[in-house]
């Protein structure tokens, strides 16, 4: 997958520890039956951070979400650590909040900080009691092994059905100081707008006020994670969280000035790439799908169309089969919750192998099936829709629907 | 699948020709490559009928939908015939309306009626030009072979990926006169609320005014087809249409009196059973899923929850795998577009093999995995959700998500 190159930004190694002052670790504490699978991860900042977060819009919220919300409120938007486990979502459990608070207390004690400075997250099966013992015995070695080099261990700890670790980081300048921003994400199934659609932890050494950090995150989420759909299911435990410790030494960003835009672009690049990685690694996915809608009466209409097409099981199945079924694309555009003239739509399919137009003025057109098949044989496909009635545009990301999606989800709990 | 038994209603044979005065036929005209697959169907009433219809809400509407709407308006809500083809949806074609009108003209000429008395429908691939020649040469033999016994041929003609013909009919009394109401439906994929979600043609010999017929249809559609979801894709060509020729001799129903309720119940029984047949025959389906939500603050909330759960790919995959994953049910209930308290939800799974409670007060509970597996091994599963916060209730129907759904849709056009 190609990284979007922008002048002034350089992709670097280091993931969630790319920024100065952050350490991390991951280990197998015993929640997962496979002793080689990390199931407990930590991120820690030597300096207190401003913290911003966005959460799932599902009414059924995981206990860790509720505890994190309370902690951030109690600590006035500051935090120093993230503790996260996989295999069990600690959601829809009678003792869920108690266990989530316990995770914060255990972590805080070991780190010598306050429990409300800890962000807690869990991902995995919903509705099964979380065993706290493995976590309680795992935290001490987890903390003692923390280092800037162990970011990959943390990234591995949050994986569930993910097949690849997801880490991205960039370096950029603010006031002549080098700043770094990087993160790790997990997510494969149960991914859909609207909300963070993933567990994603981002750290930066840039100095940014809590309010500006939250604003940047909320804005960027709209055009990245909220335009991502693997299966239409909005998870109960989704959270994106950004920690900023200010160690880069730039003048703190407290208003929407040029420095804010520079910082926000860095956040966008990292979250955009994470979004694409999540889509490409969607459960069972064999192809990354991008739907770009342009020419819409406004941006909201473009977003509605792009999301509707990327979500359609019929479009997703056709892409899996390399079938240039433009009717399904038009159909999905047609039931998008937005008003526009369907008689002006042009559609083409784009990949490294070329571009093929399949629809003009809302009607199917004749095209070379051979060329279409070669375009769709690639593993990154763009569905390009021009509504030809304005300047609104938007992009949404997703993946194809495959046998493996069904296989993975037919027996997820075992 | 068991039929819902109601006093005063008797299930009978005859499908779309069960009612007096209707004849039908189906044939292979040449649209489909398989000479044994009917691809052209007709229904005709010897007497002019009141006609009512509901159509897809997709903004991309098939040309036949547009022509039927115009015809019914021109004929003041009356009609005498239905002509319908499968294999090609005649949608998103530059010459679509012209071809649909041509189908009406050819049919009307052969029957000696006016073109605007013909309801036209097409189902199949979107965005490919409809060859009119096979239809033009097929209509004469189709008409000459019409008979009350050929209802099954018509029902076969509208099938696409359907694996079974869908016909239901009931007899009931109005004013001491025996009335009959029956129909045929097609639909397997691209099925989702909101709208008719299928092609469905219903005939009756009861005498009902156009206005009362439309009202009954619009009301019944809300609690039947509009609560059905196979894959979340709302088709471009969906239509439910009811023709009433009055030959039973009852006093015409012109207001919401007792006779209206009796008639509406007959329509409900036929459409309910069609809905369940469509769900059970959903593309690739191995199980019929019913989600009953009760105890909701109001009926709209119950409907939103039941539809959200029945649509979830994760719930559908789990049901395919006989996995009693209550977390996914709670998750899907939680992202339903409605407001309610998620901490009171009880969930149980029900089949012929028994009942198993999997969630109480919004939390997962311990249950016998062995019993759960035996309950879910059946081919008709009910997901029973009680929100415990009111009297609102609703039912939605769907099916599991299987390998075969992906297989069917990965290469639908060929």
Q: Percentage of chain B with pLDDT > 70?
A: 95
The pLDDT score that the predictor gives to residue A132 is 97
CB atoms < 10 A from the CB of A157, how many? 29
Residues B96-117: tens digit of each pLDDT: 999 999 999 999 999 999 999 9
Q: Give mean pLDDT, residues B312-328.
A: 88
Rg (CA), chain B: 22
Is B364–A127 a contact, with Cβ atoms under 8 angstroms apart?
A: yes
Scanning B221-260 for CB atoms below 8 A from A yields 231-236
Cα A325 to Cα B89: distance, rounded to the nearest angstrom: 13
- Whether the per-residue pLDDT at B293 is higher than 70: the answer is yes
> Pick from A323, A317, A318, A409: which is nearest to A369 by CA?
A323
Cα A331 to Cα A115: distance, rounded to the nearest angstrom: 51
Mean per-residue pLDDT over chain B, rounded:
92
Residues A137-161: tens digit of each pLDDT: 999 999 999 999 999 999 999 998 8
The helix (H) or strand (E) run that includes residue A46 is strand A40-55
Is A318–B412 a contact, with Cβ atoms under 8 angstroms apart?
A: yes
Q: Are B309 and B383 in contact (CB under 8 A)?
A: yes
DSSP B281: T
- Whether the per-residue pLDDT at B44 is higher than 80: the answer is yes
DSSP B194: S
Cα A292 to Cα A385: distance, rounded to the nearest angstrom: 6
Scanning A343-362 for CB atoms below 8 A from B yields 358-359, 361-362
The pLDDT score that the predictor gives to residue B225 is 86
The pLDDT score that the predictor gives to residue B19 is 98
Please name every residue paired with B287 in a beta bridge, in sequence order, or none if there are none: none
- Whether the per-residue pLDDT at A296 is higher than 80: the answer is yes
Q: Give mean pLDDT, residues A81-108.
A: 96
Q: Give mean pLDDT, residues B352-367.
A: 94
Helix axes B133-144, B96-111, angle to 10 degrees: 20
Q: Is A409 on the interface with B (CB under 8 A)?
A: yes
Please count the residue pairs, one from chain A and one from chain B, whose beta carbons lie less than 8 angstroms apart: 222
The pLDDT score that the predictor gives to residue B189 is 61
Kindly indicate whether the ipTM for this predicted assembly is greater than 0.85, answering yes or no: no
The encoded tokens of residue A55 equal 């959460």
What is the distance in angstroms between the Cα of A371 and the nearest Cα belonging to chain B? 16
Cα A399 to Cα B310: distance, rounded to the nearest angstrom: 22
* Side-by-side strand order, sheet with A346-351: A363-364, A354-360, A346-351, A380-386, A288-296, A392-399
**Residue for token pair 């009626």:** B113
- Whether the per-residue pLDDT at B197 is higher than 60: the answer is no
Among B160, B317, B332, B341, which would you mutate to test the A interface (most chain A Cβ atoms within 10 Å of its Cβ)? B317
The pLDDT score that the predictor gives to residue A125 is 85
pTM of the model: 0.81
Q: Percentage of chain A with pLDDT > 70?
A: 95
What is the distance in angstroms between the Cα of B387 and the nearest Cα belonging to chain A? 13
Is B232–A313 a contact, with Cβ atoms under 8 angstroms apart?
A: yes
The pLDDT score that the predictor gives to residue B230 is 66
Q: Which of B56, B123, B161, B197 is catalytic?
A: B197
What is the band of B190 on the pLDDT scale with cuts at 50, 70, 90? Answer: low
Q: Which of A60, A326, A359 sits opposite B334 (nearest CB)?
A: A60
- Whether the per-residue pLDDT at B73 is higher than 90: the answer is yes
What is the distance in angstroms between the Cα of A140 and the nearest Cα belonging to chain B? 30
The question of whether A197 is a catalytic residue gets the answer yes
The pLDDT score that the predictor gives to residue A227 is 85
Q: Which residues have C-beta within 8 Å of that of residue B137, sequence separation ≥ 6?
A: B29, B30
Q: Degrees (nearest 5) of the Cα angle A278, A282, A286? A: 115
> Pick from B197, B339, B171, B404: which is nearest to A58 by CA?
B339
The pLDDT score that the predictor gives to residue A413 is 54
Q: Residue ranges of the alpha helices (H) in B123-200?
A: 133-144, 151-157
Q: Is B65 on the interface with A (CB under 8 A)?
A: no
Residues B131-158: tens digit of each pLDDT: 999 999 999 999 999 999 999 999 999 9
What is the band of B168 on the pLDDT scale with cuts at 50, 70, 90? Answer: very high
CB atoms < 10 A from the CB of A276, how many? 22
Query: How would DSSP label each residue in B290-334?
Result: EEEEEEESSHHHHHHHHHHHHH-HHHHHHHHTT---HHHHHHHHH
- Whether the per-residue pLDDT at B412 is higher than 60: the answer is no
Q: Which of B311, B335, B364 sits opposite A93 (nearest CB)?
A: B364
- Whether the per-residue pLDDT at A243 is higher than 50: the answer is yes
Scanning B109-128 for CB atoms below 8 A from A yields 125-128
What is the distance in angstroms between the Cα of B409 and the nearest Cα belonging to chain A? 5
- Whether the per-residue pLDDT at B182 is higher than 50: the answer is yes
Q: Which of A330, A334, A406 sits opposite B320 (nearest CB)?
A: A406
Please give the torsion angle defined by the CA atoms of residues A204, A209, A212 and A213, in that order, rounded to the nearest 10 degrees. 30
Q: Is A98 on the interface with B (CB under 8 A)?
A: no
The pLDDT score that the predictor gives to residue B195 is 33
What is the band of B411 on the pLDDT scale with cuts at 50, 70, 90? Answer: low
The encoded tokens of residue B275 equal 């809905």
Cα B55 to Cα A335: distance, rounded to the nearest angstrom: 13
Please name every residue paired with A69 in a beta bridge, in sequence order, or none if there are none: none
Q: Is B323 on the interface with A (CB under 8 A)?
A: yes
Among B91, B124, B127, which would you mutate to test the A interface (most chain A Cβ atoms within 10 Å of its Cβ)? B127
> Pick from B207, B209, B206, B183: which is nearest to B196 by CA?
B183
Is A236–B331 a contact, with Cβ atoms under 8 angstroms apart?
A: yes
Q: Is A389 on the interface with B (CB under 8 A)?
A: no
Which residues of chain B lie closer than 8 angstroms to A236, CB-CB? Answer: 327, 330-331, 334
Q: Which of A56, A68, A91, A197 is catalytic?
A: A197
Q: What distances in angstroms separate CA B366 from CA B73, B325, B345, B380, one per listed residue?
A: 59, 12, 15, 23
Q: Give mean pLDDT, residues B277-295.
A: 89
**Residue for token pair 């943390």:** A154
Tell me which chain A residue has its CA closest to the CA of residue B193: A335
The encoded tokens of residue A283 equal 């459960």
Tell me which chain A residue has its CA closest to the CA of residue B305: A59
Cα B233 to Cα A335: distance, rounded to the nearest angstrom: 8
Residues A362-383: tens digit of each pLDDT: 998 999 999 999 999 999 999 9
Q: Degrees (nearest 5) of the Cα angle A151, A153, A158? A: 100
Q: Which of B59, B189, B321 sits opposite A410 (nearest CB)?
A: B321
Q: Is A327 on the interface with B (CB under 8 A)?
A: yes
What is the band of B414 on the pLDDT scale with cuts at 50, 70, 90? Answer: very low
- Whether the per-residue pLDDT at A414 is higher than 60: the answer is no
The pLDDT score that the predictor gives to residue A193 is 43
Query: How would DSSP label each residue in B361-406?
Result: TTEE----HHHHHHHHTSSEEEEEEE-SSSSEEEEEEEE---HHHH
- Whether the per-residue pLDDT at A194 is higher than 70: the answer is no
Q: How big is chain A, counted in residues?
A: 414
- Whether the per-residue pLDDT at A229 is higher than 80: the answer is no
The pLDDT score that the predictor gives to residue A196 is 34
């Amino acid at each position: 997958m190609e990284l979007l190159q922008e002048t002034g930004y350089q992709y670097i190694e280091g993931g969630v520890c790319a920024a100065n002052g952050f350490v991390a670790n991951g280990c197998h504490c015993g929640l997962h039956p496979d002793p080689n699978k990390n199931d407990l991860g930590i991120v820690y900042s030597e300096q207190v951070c401003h913290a911003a977060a966005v959460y799932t819009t599902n009414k059924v919220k995981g206990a860790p979400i509720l505890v994190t919300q309370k902690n951030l409120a109690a600590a006035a938007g500051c935090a120093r650590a993230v503790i996260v486990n996989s295999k069990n979502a600690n959601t829809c459990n009678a003792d869920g909040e108690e266990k989530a608070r316990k995770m914060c207390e255990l972590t805080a004690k070991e780190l010598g900080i306050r429990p409300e400075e800890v962000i807690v997250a869990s991902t995995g099966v919903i509705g099964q009691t979380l065993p706290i013992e493995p976590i309680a015995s795992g935290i001490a070695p987890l903390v003692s092994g923390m280092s800037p080099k162990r970011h990959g261990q943390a990234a591995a700890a949050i994986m569930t059905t993910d097949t690849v670790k997801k880490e991205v980081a960039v370096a950029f300048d603010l006031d002549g100081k080098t700043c770094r921003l990087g993160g790790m994400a997990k997510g494969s199934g149960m991914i859909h707008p609207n909300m963070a659609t993933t567990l994603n932890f981002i750290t930066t050494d840039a100095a940014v006020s809590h309010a500006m950090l939250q604003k940047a995150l909320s804005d960027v989420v709209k055009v990245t994670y909220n335009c991502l759909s693997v299966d239409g299911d909005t998870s109960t435990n989704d959270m994106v969280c950004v920690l900023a410790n200010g160690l880069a030494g730039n003048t703190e960003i407290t208003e929407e000035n040029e420095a804010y835009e520079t910082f926000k672009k860095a956040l966008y690049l990292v979250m955009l790439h994470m979004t694409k990685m999540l889509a490409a690694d969607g459960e069972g996915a064999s192809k990354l799908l991008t739907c770009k809608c342009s020419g819409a009466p406004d941006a909201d209409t473009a977003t509605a169309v792009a999301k509707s097409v990327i979500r359609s099981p019929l479009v997703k199945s056709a892409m899996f089969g390399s079938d240039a079924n433009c009717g399904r694309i038009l159909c999905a555009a047609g039931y998008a919750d937005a008003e526009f003239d369907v008689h002006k739509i042009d559609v083409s399919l784009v990949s490294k192998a070329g571009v093929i137009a399949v629809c003009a003025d809302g009607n199917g057109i004749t095209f070379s099936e051979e060329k279409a098949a070669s375009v769709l044989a690639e593993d990154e496909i763009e569905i390009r829709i021009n509504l030809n009635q304005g300047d609104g545009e938007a992009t949404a990301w997703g993946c194809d629907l495959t046998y493996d999606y069904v296989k993975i989800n037919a027996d997820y709990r075992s």
